[in-house]
Amino acid sequence: MLMLESWATMWNWLCKARGNKTMVNLSRLEEIKDLRTVWPHEALDFTPWLSQDDNIVLLADALGLDITVDDTESSVGDFNVDIFASETGMDRKIIIENQLEYTNHDHLGKLITYASGKSADVIIWVVKHAREEHRAAIEWLNNHTDEKIGFFLCEIKLYRIGTSEPAVKFEVIEKPNDWTKEVKKGESANETQQQRYDYWVSFQDYAFQNIQFAKNFKRRKPSTDHWMNFSVGSSSCNIAVSQIRKRDELKVELYIHEDKDLFHSLFDNKDTIESGAGLTFDGQDLPERKASRIVIEKSVAFSDRSQWNTQFDWIIEVMLKIKKTFKKYL
């Protein structure tokens, strides 16, 4: 009984103490319905805003891409596409068409025209609101084009809290169905191609559970190719991971596209770079080609699935070290 009274006394004291606390005042999140209060004109206001590095990354993060803006109001015959871009460190071309209104047939037609004129691989439609028939049209395009082409439909939202500055959020409404496309491709894949594809799927499922890896790299679309490329934030190079199955060999490399000066600069600092990374690299100038590479290799047993996670751990470690060490030289 004494114990119960003691608990009762303590409980009353705690309740009084809580009652004396100052309550936190929370503001209401308000959506700004009229986008033109912030960007009055698509071409003069919104497109220049979106093309800036700090802003395009917001869209890129929502889509799971690395986007480098190459041009705005880029010519396509007698017309202009709002933003012409590329996937950072890759060869894939991107077009972005902006519409600060509800979707319509006119802009859908422009989207396809610009994609054709620019030979785009990734087509992004940024809108105020996606009508259901246009969402269905983008879904249909994703399901009826090959695995190299991807259509994204994205709504832009604006919010503020009280009198704060507006905050932007991109909401993905429709995106490529990679699984459907890979199934179509896989119908004609041979055994080796299917093994590569399964390996890449397993690698990414494992790797993106690693917090540091997920912070530094974007998920890639699995393919039947023997390589998979990852951006390092520079258009001059990227990280490539390769499965060389006939030799049971894994490769992780910094692939430099067309910059021999960069390769020679890195090679001149080879000792410092290797010391910083704790790795030993093989520099390959490839004199007969415009590209060059800096490679690290490992012997593995691809056929033994029980070793895959150990292989994945090695890839993750090397990729993180390469990105961290080489970043200061790029």
Note the pLDDT tens digit of each residue in 131-180: 999 999 999 998 888 778 899 999 999 999 888 899 999 999 998 876 44
Looking at residue 301, what is its pLDDT?
95
Residue ranges of the chain assigned to CATH 3.30.1460: 189-329
SS3 content of the chain, % helix, strand, coil (to 5): 45, 30, 30
* 303: DSSP letter: T
The identity of residue 256, as a single letter, is: I
Looking at residue 275, what is its pLDDT?
87
Are 260 and 285 within 8 A, CB to CB? yes
Helix (H) or strand (E) run with residue 253 in it: strand 249-256
Structure pTM?
A: 0.61
Looking at residue 180, what is its pLDDT?
44
- Give the distance, in angstroms, between the CA of residue 313 and the centroid of all CA atoms in the same chain: 21
Looking at residue 179, what is its pLDDT?
43
At the top level of CATH, the class of 30-181 is alpha beta
Residues of the chain with pLDDT under 50: 1-2, 4, 179-181, 183, 186
- Residue 168's φ and ψ, nearest 5 degrees, are -105, 145
Compute the distance between CA of residue 299 and CA of residue 86 in angstroms, rounded to an integer.
Answer: 34
Residue ranges of the chain assigned to CATH 3.40.1350.10: 30-181
Looking at residue 117, what is its pLDDT?
93
Compute the distance between CA of residue 144 and CA of residue 138 in angstroms, rounded to an integer.
Answer: 10
CA nearest neighbour of 92 among 229, 272, 233? 229
Orientation of helix 178-186 relative to helix 132-144, angle to 10°: 30
Query: CATH assignment of 189-329, given 1.20.120, 3.30.379, 3.30.1460, 3.40.720?
Result: 3.30.1460
Are 217 and 231 within 8 A, CB to CB? yes
